[in-house]
Amino acid sequence: MTGTTGTLVLAGTPIGDLADAPPRLAAELGSADVVAAEDTRRLRRLAQGLGVRVDGRVVSYFEGNEAARTPELARELESGARVLLVTDAGMPSVSDPGYRLVAAAVELGARVTAVPGPSAVLTALALSGLPVDRFCFEGFLPRKPGERAARLREAAGERRTLVYFEAPHRLAATLAAMADAFGGGRRAAVCRELTKTYEEVRRGPLDELAEWAEAGVRGEITVVVAGADPAAGSGDAPDAAELARRVAEREDAGQARKEAIAEVAREAGVPKRQVFDAVVAAKRS
């Protein structure tokens, strides 16, 4: 330690394939005074896989203790330590612990730097086949259906490509909610187990992806959704009466109402909820 304000190093870790670890990661693991890890057991396995010995003090730094441990790590920085922050996969602070510590380090005047590494967000975006010139990262959606639906409604008009993280057991419900909020025909890609043995990228309209996910999906999931079509709000979309008429025509031909609503929503490029509301309003009138 130097006795002057130290350095905080944010280190990217592999999201799947250990061979993707940046060369500087091993050097930082071996030289840091303190290593703050989201999971200390995974840190040990990572160090072993890289063939490096961690001589610095290792502490846990995860969602449950992030607020309490940040002042302790800030004191280490204040005393001149080189503190290395690693999470289970990808870059710290991107839907992972890290923001509080970065803010504390900046407040102290400590140097903050990074070891760039793999990113599930950028990898999924690049593989999605969707526009990459402008995008926004939305992280994890709320778990409660009502809060999730509200968040998605807020994003329905966003023209930039959207990137989300999701747990596999909630994927089907999330894709269905996205189809309802954005329209079943909105293009999307589900990226699963990126850089791992069973990597898979499933592309298609949201309603088809939601149906596919109902059978169950495993692994780490990143969902990429196309932004809203600027022409959608130009006044060319059918009004409620027209939407209801199209559904009625399909029902008269023997199609189930749920299927008719989904089909009309996809063709019109509007959320299924909008078509459903139009049908209800038509029945009332």
Q: What is the pLDDT of residue 236?
A: 52
Rounded to whole angstroms, the Cα distance separating 270 from 282 reads 17
Rounded to whole angstroms, the Cα distance separating 35 from 209 reads 40
Q: Which residues contact 239 (CB under 8 A, 6 or more apart)?
A: none
Q: Which CATH superfamily is domain 7-118 in?
A: Tetrapyrrole methylase, N-terminal domain (3.40.1010.10)
Residue 232 has pLDDT above 80, yes or no: no
Please state the pTM of the whole predicted model: 0.80
Per-residue model confidence as pLDDT tens digits over 143-182: 999 999 999 999 988 999 999 999 999 999 999 999 989 9
Inter-CA distances, 33 with 6, 29, 99, 126, 167, Å: 10, 9, 20, 36, 34
121-228, CATH topology level: 3.30.950
Residue written as token pair 């189809």:
179
Residue type, 201: V
Task: Pick the closest to residue 76 from 54, 57, 60, 97 (CA basis).
Answer: 57
Percent of the chain with pLDDT strictly greater than 90: 77
| Average pLDDT of the residues in 185-212 | 96
Name the token pair of 234: 């130009």
Ordered by start, the domain boundaries in the chain are: 7-118, 121-228, 233-284
Residues 238, 220 contacting (CB under 8 angstroms): no
